[in-house]
Amino acid sequence: MDFQLNNRGSEGYAFEYKEDNQVLAELTWTQLGDIMVVDHTFVDPSLRGQGLAVKLLDRAAEYAREKDYKIEAVCSFVLKAFSSTDKYDDIKA
């Protein structure tokens, strides 16, 4: 599954999964210097239960590591993920 980085201008950034030009899954953030403030994760009901939200977070984590950024979790899904595993400890803001 391929997630595209989308610069939404004043609305921040997102990794998106699209089919037929429709966003079916996304993780969004605002960039504040070297901090990605992740504020929203969405997966279309037709795709839920497949681990897509975790895959989006993993892609955002990979991006943060590539850019030497940290992630501040505001989104409830990311907050829960950060507290349930140590695999993101190196990028927590």
- pLDDT per position as a tens digit, 50-82: 999 999 999 999 999 999 999 999 999 999 999
Which CATH number is 4-91 given? 3.40.630.30
Give the dihedral sign, CA 9/93/88/82.
negative
Residue 1 has pLDDT above 90, yes or no: no
Q: What is the full DSSP assignment across 14-51?
A: EEEEEETTEEEEEEEEEEETTEEEEEEEEE-GGGTTSS
| Domain spans in the chain, listed from the N-terminal domain onward | 4-91
- Report the mean per-residue pLDDT for the chain: 98
Do 27 and 14 touch, CB atoms closer than 8 A?
yes
- The type of residue at 56 is L
The number of beta carbons lying within 10 Å of the beta carbon of residue 13 is: 19
For residue 75, which phi and psi values (nearest 5 degrees)?
Answer: -65, 135
